A and B are shown apart, each in its own frame.
Chain A
């Protein structure tokens, strides 16, 4: 599928009891690896999910990783820091009248009825939607209010995951990455280009951010290609 078609046909799913076993297991594997990575990093467990270009699947991946962490029993906050094209509110069917942008402008509280942070129907998972699209998203993310907010929230939540815009589109991801432990870059199978990925990673690193890992999304398994036949068949049939 071409990138512009991804944009037009974008839909999201959330891990639930109907999700196939191998998908849940894949997200659990990502969760396990993220736990390992974050455990060796000092500081509040705040990480960014980004990608090189739009359509690579960072929002969906970020949302489902957050769900997976919440299912583990951790208290998780998912922040939609894509102040230009917010999507997290659509993923979780939440109102977006109040959110990050309004909080950073002092126009809404963090919690409460009209607060930026909202509960979801998934236990332990909280979401801070982006709020209304501001005229100055980069400046808001660069502001001290954002840093302060992250510090405060780090005390209240076990993990904070931030969905950011793609690196090659705007600089927001680079800005946010520098304020957190690092970034997880999501790439899409047979869509993301190597040179674009290389550019995105080097831009984050040049901006002072750290790359914690890469998630390969939308991978189409071919028999014997990524995992051995036995492992793939076993995993697929285990839950049947």
Chain B
């Protein structure tokens, strides 16, 4: 089945209304989905410096060991060993009135926190994602504090310092309604173009002179236009039935 670009363009232009309708419909769908069905989520990040230089032994750890240890610290931060304390802190803060949000369980906290190591440094980041920007900030900072306490005080792993506290996020993470509409529009456009081309490729009916030429190498001797003759009374016209 051969196709050239010109033919594809002709096919698409012949169905431009269908393509436009589908694309606009998808854009509307994306817009509605973003505004009505999607809850805006906010992310904020705290950064911790894990000083792994051990002064007592004057030993420098090699780079690989440092990175491995940092990954361990980051990993521990997502674990109940740290989050248990965070949960308790939230409870106490809630009781004292310093925190008016829900007291998330450890499992819920694990669902909203993520950590990562900053490469070629001794830092790792703690990111919290929550539907409420205030809670996201509060929880991120509490986790940062607890992980520093856990590693430095409980486990004597070195000196841990919060170098950047989590700030209150201004905008949600999710795509804006407009961006969503644009992306859905593009998806709708591509899908409808593909569908139109596929339908046309598999349409075996004769729709033009070139189709006749393609099917049989026979001369076209005439084209009779479509004609609705029902409005024109014709004494020789008979709608089925027997002859007089």
Where the two chains meet, the residues of A that have a C-beta atom closer than 8 Å to any C-beta of B are 10-14, 16, 18-20, 22-23, 26-27, 29-30, 33-34, 37, 57, 61, 89-96, 121, 184-185, 187-195, 197-198, 201, 211-222, 225-226
Contacts and interface: CB of A to CB of B under 8 A. Distances in A.
Contacts of A89: 243
A195 B238 contact: no
Interface string B220-234: 111111110110111
Given A13-B237, A215-B223, A219-B226, 7 more contacts: A14-B234, A20-B227, A22-B225, A29-B223, A93-B243, A214-B212, A215-B222
Contacts of B100: none
Most chain A beta-carbon neighbours within 10 Å: one of B209, B214, B233, B237 = B237
A29 B232 CA distance: 22
A18 B204 CA distance: 35
A11 B218 contact: no
Given A16-B236, A90-B243, A197-B206, A216 B215 contact: no
Contacts of B235: 16
A61 B221 CA distance: 12
Given A194-B214, A226-B209, A18 B232 contact: yes
Contacts of A219: 223-226
Contact of B211 (A13, A23, A27, A194): A194
B58 interface: no
A153 B214 CA distance: 37
B226 A34 contact: no
Among A14, A26, A34, A216, residue most surrounded by chain B Cβ atoms (within 10 Å): A216
B237 A195 contact: no
Contacts of A225: 208
B236 A26 contact: no
A226 B243 CA distance: 37
B24 to A, nearest CB: 23
Going nearest first, the 3 A-B pairs with the smallest beta carbon separation are A30-B222, A213-B221, A194-B215
A195 B212 CA distance: 10
Given A11-B237, A18-B234, A218 B215 contact: no
B241 interface: yes
A27 B224 contact: yes
Given A14-B236, A19-B232, A89-B243, A197 B215 contact: yes
A226 B223 contact: yes
Contact of B205 (A185, A192, A217): A192
B224 A34 contact: no
A14 B237 contact: yes
Given A195-B204, A201-B216, A214-B216, A91 B238 contact: yes
Interface in B102-141: none
Contacts of A11: 229-230, 237-240
Interface string B165-195: 0000000000000000000000000000000
A192 to B, nearest CB: 5
8 contacts: A13-B234, A20-B227, A89-B243, A94-B243, A189-B226, A194-B215, A197-B216, A215-B223
